[in-house]
């Protein structure tokens, strides 16, 4: 997405100046010392994974998980709507029946989806059930607001690969991540609502 031209030009200038300051890695800093290894307990982390039977390396061969595990996702937030507004895709029952279905849908569309939420949206199409929403960007922090140029007013061209935002989401204002709710008045938190992130690296390996 395009921000205002001034901000875009500033990023280009900063990136150019930083590129000229690059230095080689210094072995004298002992940066391969064992004290930097904070990943020793990755297996224990996956003990708390969700969807171990539904999201597996059999279904997603490029899924990265520790040895001795068949699958699962650890990048999730119970009761939190940790998602954004860009490229909002809503999917309803019976196509998606569970949070694991929702996460799998995001993994299946990893070229356009980075985060998902399974929650009550109170949309007539979900018939009172929780439904699935896929996004291509996360929530913004409170002190950040983005304005999306939908008409190429900057002359930089149009953004691609995303659906138009809902009118109320442009500008996209930052804020605290909302909770998932059991009621439209947002008074009863939903402990079984859940959201999560995924990534695909340059080698097409999937992480969730």
To the nearest 5 percent, what fractions of the chain are helix, strand and coil?
Answer: 20, 20, 60
pLDDT value for 20: 61
pLDDT tens for each residue of 86-126 = 888 999 999 999 999 999 999 999 999 999 999 999 999 99
Asked if 195 contacts 117 with a C-beta cutoff of 8 angstroms, the reply is yes
Which is it for the CA torsion 56, 60, 66, 72, positive or negative? negative
Per-residue pLDDT of the chain (208 residues; tens, 9 = 90+): 444 433 444 444 445 555 567 777 676 778 888 888 888 777 888 989 999 999 999 999 999 999 889 999 999 999 999 888 888 899 999 999 999 999 999 999 999 999 999 999 999 999 999 999 999 988 899 999 988 887 888 888 877 776 767 778 888 899 999 999 999 999 999 999 999 999 999 999 999 9
Task: Give residue limits of the domains in the chain.
Answer: 1-12+50-208
């Amino acid at each position: 997405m395009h921000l205002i031209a001034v901000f875009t030009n500033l990023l280009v200038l900063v990136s150019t100046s930083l590129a000229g300051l690059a230095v080689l890695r210094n072995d004298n800093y002992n940066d391969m010392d064992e004290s930097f290894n904070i990943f020793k307990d990755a297996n224990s982390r996956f003990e708390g994974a969700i969807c171990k039977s539904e999201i597996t390396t059999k279904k997603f061969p490029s899924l990265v998980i520790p040895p001795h595990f068949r699958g699962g996702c650890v990048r999730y937030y119970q009761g939190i709507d940790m998602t954004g507004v860009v490229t909002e895709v809503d999917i309803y029952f019976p196509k998606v029946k569970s949070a694991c279905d929702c996460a799998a849908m995001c993994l299946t569309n990893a070229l356009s989806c980075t985060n998902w939420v399974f929650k009550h949206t109170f949309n007539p199409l979900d018939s009172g059930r929780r439904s699935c929403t896929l996004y291509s960007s996360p929530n913004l922090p409170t002190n950040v607001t983005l304005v999306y140029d939908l008409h190429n007013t900057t002359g930089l061209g149009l953004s691609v690969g995303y659906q138009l935002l809902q009118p109320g989401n442009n500008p996209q204002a930052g804020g605290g991540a909302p909770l998932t709710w059991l009621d439209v008045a947002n008074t009863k938190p939903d402990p079984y609502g859940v959201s999560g992130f995924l990534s695909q690296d340059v080698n097409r390996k999937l992480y969730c």
